[in-house]
Amino acid sequence: MTATQRPVRDPAAGTPAAAAPSATPAPARARRPRGRPAMYTGYAQNMALLNTGGKKAGVLVLFVVALLLPFLLQDDLLRLLATGAVLAIGAIGLNLVTGYAGQVSLGHAVFLGIGAYTASVVSGDPEDESVYGFGITFLPVWLLAAGLVAALVGAIVSPLATRLRGLYLAIVTLGLVFIGEHVFREWDALTGGVGVGREGPTPELFGFDVGTRSEFFSADQQLYLLMLVMLVLFALVGRNIARSAVGRNFAAVRDRDIAAEVTGVDVRKAKRLAFVISGFYGGCAGALLYSINGYIDPGSFNVLLSVQFIAMILIGGAATISGSIMGAFFVALLPRLTRELPEYLPFLSSSPTETPNVFQFETFLYGILIVLFLILEPRGLFGLWVRARNYWKAWPFSY
């Protein structure tokens, strides 16, 4: 990004009064006058994470509600929400590469698998002869290891992306899923083998196992709070990537790679970085996901998982962090809703052996939702929110 990092000329510096070497006091710190949301006196205000008062208040309220949830909801629902939070981390990763940088990746399941197994190996029991294990159960260590290994794989894969575009890239990443699935099935020393599997990583922090119930909280309450904190961390980093020069380069590559190159964006580097970051997020999400589930089946990392992630970002909203989170929670909570359906739709069965059953209906629903969102609101749930917001913003006019 050498080309984009050249110092931006400060327009005020060109004027003599500002450039005067004398110690003429400049205005006090460029602060925004109150109550004027459209007035910017510095670029920092425009680029700020929460650039309006409304956003600040909204995020605060949302965060407080999320912190209160463990005391209001049942444990099984909390576990579902914890899963949703982890899926959201994975979705943010996919959104960075597919939504922001425009590189369609159907191989996200592989990154999740690599992350899950790396973490399991790092935290696994060294006494167990059947699978690898190093016995380091400290969460930051196995999480970082999972992310880094997956990022490395992302870096190895990225040359494909720098040479291919669009449909070709999608097909190639689809190929990755099949390779990954094959390796996971066959490498017994790593995964325990089909039908056997292995334990997921142990979420332990400073000797405290988050996954087992403690004096004050149940295991699910603890896991939920842990994953909530993780999601906030990863979402903040994701948002910061998106609003910084890196994210702007991604968007430039997505909108027109040739134009981006002409304006000085290193396209190869941007694509490579997108895959590395996406891999890191995917790896971390995989590790965390199986620290909730506790058991990894090598058959889990298939095309369906990749498609579910695509569904999350398309339903949530491509190229938005908050959309990724909305989409992930939507997809995570969808099964819970469809499970209730047989009560209202008697022709649907809740047993997987009968047809039509809710599981088939669920898969069907992903497809339908993707199609409907792409046709009706390509910007996803986030787009619906933007529409609602703009409706009130334009009040009392239409534009």
Partner 1 sequence: MTALLGTGTAPAPTVTTTIATRVRDRAATTPRGVAMRSKQLGLWRETSWAEYWEEVQLVGHALLALGITRGDRVAIASENRREWLSADLGIVAVGGITVGLYPTNPAAEVLHLLADSGSVLLVAEDQEQLDKALEVSDRTPALRHLVYVDPRGIRGRYDDPRLLHWDDFLELGRGHRAAHPGAIDEAMAGTRPDDVMTLVYTSGTTGPPKGAMLSVANAEATIATFTGVGGLQDPPAGPSDMVLSYLPLCHVAERIFTIWNNAATGIQVNFAENIDTVPANLREIQPTFFFAVPRIWEKLLATVRVRQASASPVKRAVGNLGLKLAEGVGKSLVANGGRHTASSRVRHAVAWVLVVRSLRERLGLRRVRWAGCGAAPVAVDVLQFFAGLGIPVHELYGMTENTASATANRPGRIRLGTVGEPHDSVEVRIDEQTGEVLTRGAATFLGYWNRPDATAETVDADGWLHTGDVGVLEDGYLRITDRMKDILITAGGKNIAPSEIENALKVSPLIKEAVVIGDRRAYLTALIGVEPDTMSDWAQRHNIAYSTYRDLTEKKEVLELVQGIVTDVNSRLATVEQIKTFRLLPKLLDHEDGELTATQKVRRSALAERFSDLVEGMYSGAAR
In the block, residue with structure tokens 């006058």: 33
Give the residue with the Cβ less far from partner 1, 216 or 399.
399
State the minimum distance, in angstroms, from the CB of residue 397 to partner 1: 4
Among 2, 6, 7, 11, indicate the residue that binds partner 1 (CB under 8 A): 11
Among 2, 36, 127, 355, indicate the residue that binds partner 1 (CB under 8 A): 36
Among 1, 4, 41, 148, indicate the residue that binds partner 1 (CB under 8 A): 41
* DSSP letter assigned to residue 9: P
Among 43, 178, 208, 295, indicate the residue that binds partner 1 (CB under 8 A): 43
State the minimum distance, in angstroms, from the CB of residue 29 to partner 1: 9
Beta bridge partners of 1: none
* Peptide bond before residue 25 is cis, with ω within 30 degrees of 0: no
DSSP string, 75-136: HHHHHHHHHHHHHHHHHHHHIIIIIIS----S-HHHHHHHHHHHHHHHHS-TT-SSS-----
47 binds partner 1 (CB under 8 A): no
State the minimum distance, in angstroms, from the CB of residue 283 to partner 1: 39
State the minimum distance, in angstroms, from the CB of residue 256 to partner 1: 23
- Contacts with partner 1: how many residues (CB under 8 A)? 29
- Site stretch for partner 1 (CB under 8 A), options 40-48, 58-66, 147-155, 381-389: 40-48
- Site stretch for partner 1 (CB under 8 A), options 118-126, 134-142, 320-328, 389-397: 389-397
In the block, residue with structure tokens 């099949």: 178
* DSSP letter assigned to residue 73: S
x-or-dash pattern for partner 1, window 15-34, by CB under 8 A? Answer: xxxx-x-x-xxxxx-x--x-
399 binds partner 1 (CB under 8 A): yes
7 binds partner 1 (CB under 8 A): no
DSSP string, 233-275: HHHHHHHHHHHSHHHHHHHHHHH-HHHHHHTT--HHHHHHHHH
Give the residue with the Cβ less far from partner 1, 32 or 165.
32
**CA separation for the pair 56, 48 (Å, rounded):** 11
Which helix (H) or strand (E) segment holds residue 303: the answer is helix 303-316
**CA separation for the pair 26, 290 (Å, rounded):** 55
Write out the E strands in the chain.
Answer: 198-199, 204-205, 208-209, 295-296
Per CB under 8 A, residues contacting partner 1 are: 11-12, 15-18, 20, 22, 24-28, 30, 33, 35-36, 38-43, 46, 395-399
